[in-house]
Amino acid sequence: MHTKTFFQISLVAILLASQLLSACDSSAAPALPAISAGATAPATTADWFNIAMTDVRTGNTFTINDFTGKIVLIETIAQWCPNCLFQQGETRSLRQQLGNPEDLIVISLDVDLHEDEASLKKYTEEFGFEWRFGVAPLEVTRALGNLYSAEYLNPPLDPMLLIDRQGNVHQLPYGMKKADTLQKTLEPYLAK
């Protein structure tokens, strides 16, 4: 009887581990097509671009529209997510490699409904992150899921959006992205 129980537990552990590891494989999901600001969807891009969010580091409010004419890189995160922490380290390296350009705005949006601004602020202080971090309001979370896919609400997939100077939204491939890869992706947009 113990052998059967051990086998069942082992099988469940292997299945869970394979699911977790598959979320880390950046080659597992193909890049999705870009969605322009005028795309038809349940909510519009313009709607969520106008929703006020709070940078937990400074207490200042912002909207995506505040950064019109700049390049905006958005990552959805959760504080418990080890992939997110890795990606944030790569984002820090990216900013350093590029010399922290003023026309590149990085925003990490916490999409976990169980996390709040106070814990996110502590998280940013603990790891020394120096860009905008905010808890995504429910309206923003819904728009991300409806416009771009539910994967944007699954932080271990490391979903990221790039918004170009014209306000067009481009989905980056899922999975962890090294700073060099992000730099190659961003440079053509920064050069325009």
* Domain map (residue ranges) of the chain: 30-191
Task: Report phi then psi at 122, rounded to 5.
Answer: -60, -40
H or E element that contains 91:
helix 82-98
pLDDT tens digits for range 40-67: 333 456 689 999 999 999 999 999 999 9
pLDDT tens digits for range 85-139: 999 999 999 999 999 889 999 999 999 999 999 999 999 999 999 999 999 999 9
State the pTM of this model. 0.75
* Top CATH class, 30-191: alpha beta
Residues 6+ apart with CB under 8 A from 98: 104, 183, 186, 190
Number of neighbouring beta carbons within 10 Å of residue 176: 18
